């Protein structure tokens, strides 16, 4: 059981009145990293510090592991895992015995020669004493090589390399394994694949909220799903016997009426469209409102993606390929203005370039999303509930508004789904053809019009 956050000071120390995380560095790495790694948490609350520390501990230990890898320990552990794989694939008992002998000899080599002798307290006989660090390394190697202690994250890099998902999801995968490692340390569980049984997975599910800093059940379930996907990948390759995360889902509080994220009202749409927005924000909102497209798909458009009367949006969520959407007549001027003098490969929204940092997990739309949120609040369009961080209205509310207006205009459900990229059966627009389905989609898009003061007043009966 984890320590009480009221008293637990593991990996914590007070510095200038606030808590910081401290992780000891192995002696062999002192010259490169110092004796300890430290990171401020900027809180004087021990309870809060305990909620924040594990993500920092996981990152710092990952840094140590990277340096250790450079020092050769990582290569040694990979060798041990390879031995475990050979042992698992052995044809008979004789081959297993032969491998076990090799493992024993290698472990003896790693343990090295005795550094001292001491007297046995019972017999008085001299007993050789090994270097403690080398002895631990030898024992760790042997446990891994015998298939008793495969490190949790050993296959994780290969697993992530096999995925075709957004950088944000890869970030979720990294956090999921980091939280599990931190929980194992806090609860004295060996951080190995073999130690994570179904029962241990259940304990972790119940304790994840504390390790992850009290995030919502929706977010916590996302991390549990990422672990489940990793274990499925391991199971298919016979690295584990079963997916211990199957069925591990935290109960989510029922969303009551009035608490769901929703479309913008027409009044809110007017405030957004008539406000003092920048040109790029005004263009972005109108494209969102008259296509129902997701924010990242819009800001990722190139000039060449906006020709022949259609947008070609990159795949989003579970879409298998790029998706065509007719360009609404009210967007023709925006597209023409933004395309003028630019090559097909140029960005339609250069104001929001992709992340500059290589390997960044942020989507290209990150800054656009933040700027829209700031603008939305500035013009008084918000809907927050006590205890909830996320507003019930956000850029995705343009998508909900478009779908609502298309439905109110008596457009067919399957055509609306084709336009916005919802999962559908046997309906596709095609990227370049001008067939009958595309013509239906064009009529669907043109059935949606932006609200005006007069339309809002008429709807209100004024």
pLDDT tens, position by position, 442-451: 999 999 999 9
Query: What is the CB-side half-sphere exposure of residue 102 using CA atoms within 13 A?
Result: 15
Tokens of 148: 């008793």
User: What's the pLDDT score for residue 4?
Assistant: 45
> At 318, is the pLDDT very low, low, confident or very high (cuts 50, 70, 90)?
low
Q: Is the pLDDT of residue 424 over 90?
A: no
> At 2, is the pLDDT very low, low, confident or very high (cuts 50, 70, 90)?
very low
Say if residues 154 and 81 touch (Cβ distance below 8 Å).
yes
Of 104 and 119, more confident: 104
Give the Cα separation of 67 and 61 in Å (integer).
10
> At 368, is the pLDDT very low, low, confident or very high (cuts 50, 70, 90)?
very high
Tokens of 310: 């259609």
The pTM (predicted TM-score) of the whole model is 0.60
Nearest Cα to Cα of residue 273 among 369, 381, 351:
381
> At 128, is the pLDDT very low, low, confident or very high (cuts 50, 70, 90)?
confident
Instruction: Tell me the Cα Rg of the chain.
Output: 29
Q: Is the pLDDT of residue 426 over 50?
A: no
Give the Cα separation of 147 and 81 in Å (integer).
8
Tokens of 39: 């990171």
Q: What does the pLDDT average to over 67-86?
A: 74
> At 360, is the pLDDT very low, low, confident or very high (cuts 50, 70, 90)?
low
User: What's the pLDDT score for residue 311?
Assistant: 93
Q: Report which secondary-structure segment, H or E, holds 286.
A: helix 279-291
Q: Is the pLDDT of residue 242 over 90?
A: yes
Say if residues 324 and 310 touch (Cβ distance below 8 Å).
yes
Give the Cα separation of 437 and 442 in Å (integer).
9
Spell out the domains of the chain, with CATH numbers in brackets: 12-71 (no CATH), 73-116+127-145 (no CATH), 156-236 (no CATH), 266-459 (1.10.443.10)
User: What's the pLDDT score for residue 67?
Assistant: 65
User: What's the pLDDT score for residue 117?
Assistant: 81
User: What's the pLDDT score for residue 445?
Assistant: 95
Give the Cα separation of 382 and 277 in Å (integer).
16
Residue 168, Ramachandran bin (φ over 0: left; ψ between -120 and 50: alpha; else beta): alpha
Say if residues 288 and 295 touch (Cβ distance below 8 Å).
yes
How far from 166 is each of 95, 160, 169, CA to CA, in Å?
44, 11, 5
> At 70, is the pLDDT very low, low, confident or very high (cuts 50, 70, 90)?
low
Ramachandran angles phi, psi of 212, nearest 5°? -85, 10
Give the Cα separation of 261 and 396 in Å (integer).
9
User: What's the pLDDT score for residue 159?
Assistant: 92
> At 254, is the pLDDT very low, low, confident or very high (cuts 50, 70, 90)?
low
For strands 310-313 and 306-307, give the pairing: antiparallel
Q: DSSP assignment of 187-251, as one string?
A: TT---BTTT--HHHHHHHHHHHHHHTTS--HHHHHHHHHHHHHHHHHHHHTTSSSS-TTTT--PP
Q: What does the pLDDT average to over 136-157?
A: 84
Q: Mean pLDDT score of the chain, rounded to an integer?
A: 85
Give the Cα separation of 243 and 217 in Å (integer).
21
Q: Is the pLDDT of residue 35 over 90?
A: no
Can you state the angle between helices 279-291 and 266-274, rounded to 10 degrees?
150
Of 102 and 1, more confident: 102
């Amino acid at each position: 059981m984890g320590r009480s956050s009221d008293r637990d000071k593991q990996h914590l120390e007070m510095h200038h009145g606030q808590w910081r995380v401290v992780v000891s560095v192995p002696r062999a790495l002192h010259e490169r990293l110092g004796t300890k790694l430290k990171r401020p948490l900027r809180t004087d609350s021990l309870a809060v510090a305990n909620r924040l520390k594990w993500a920092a501990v996981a990152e710092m230990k990952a840094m140590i592991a990277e340096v250790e890898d450079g020092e050769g320990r990582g290569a040694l552990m990979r060798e041990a895992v390879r031995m475990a794989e050979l042992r698992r694939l052995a044809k008979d008992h004789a081959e297993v015995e032969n491998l076990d002998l090799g493992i024993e000899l290698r472990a003896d080599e790693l343990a090295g020669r005795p550094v001292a002798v001491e007297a046995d307290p019972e017999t008085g006989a001299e007993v050789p004493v090994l270097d403690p660090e080398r002895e631990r390394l030898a024992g760790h190697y042997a446990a891994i090589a015998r298939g008793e202690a495969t490190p949790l994250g050993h296959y994780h890099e290969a697993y992530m390399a096999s995925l075709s998902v957004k950088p944000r999801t890869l970030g979720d995968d990294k956090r999921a394994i980091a939280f599990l490692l931190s929980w194992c340390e806090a609860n004295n569980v060996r951080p190995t694949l073999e130690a994570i049984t179904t029962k241990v997975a259940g304990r972790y599910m119940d304790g994840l909220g504390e390790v992850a800093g009290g995030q919502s059940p929706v977010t916590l379930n996302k991390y549990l799903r990422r672990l489940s996907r990793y274990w499925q990948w391991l199971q298919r390759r016979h690295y584990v016997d079963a997916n211990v995360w199957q069925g591990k889902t935290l109960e989510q509080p029922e969303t009551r009426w009035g608490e769901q994220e929703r479309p913008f009202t027409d009044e809110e749409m007017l405030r957004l469209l008539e406000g003092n927005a920048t040109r790029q924000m005004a263009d972005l909102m109108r494209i969102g409102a008259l296509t129902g497209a997701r924010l990242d798909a819009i800001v990722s458009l190139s000039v060449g993606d906006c020709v022949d009367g259609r947008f070609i949006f990159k795949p989003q969520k579970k879409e298998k390929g790029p998706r065509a959407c007719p360009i609404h007549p009210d967007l023709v001027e925006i597209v023409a203005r933004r395309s003028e003098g630019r090559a097909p490969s140029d960005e339609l929204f250069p104001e929001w370039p992709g992340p500059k940092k290589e390997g960044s997990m942020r989507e290209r739309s990150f800054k656009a999303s933040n700027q829209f949120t700031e603008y939305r609040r500035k013009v008084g369009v918000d809907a927050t509930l006590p205890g909830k961080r996320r507003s019930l209205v956000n850029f995705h509310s343009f998508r909900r508004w478009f779908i609502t207006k298309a439905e109110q205009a008596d457009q067919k459900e399957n055509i609306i789904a084709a336009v916005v990229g919802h999962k559908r059966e046997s309906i596709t627009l095609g990227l370049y053809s001008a067939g009958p389905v595309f013509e239906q989609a064009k009529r669907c898009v043109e059935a949606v019009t932006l609200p005006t003061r007069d339309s809002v007043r008429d709807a209100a009966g004024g």
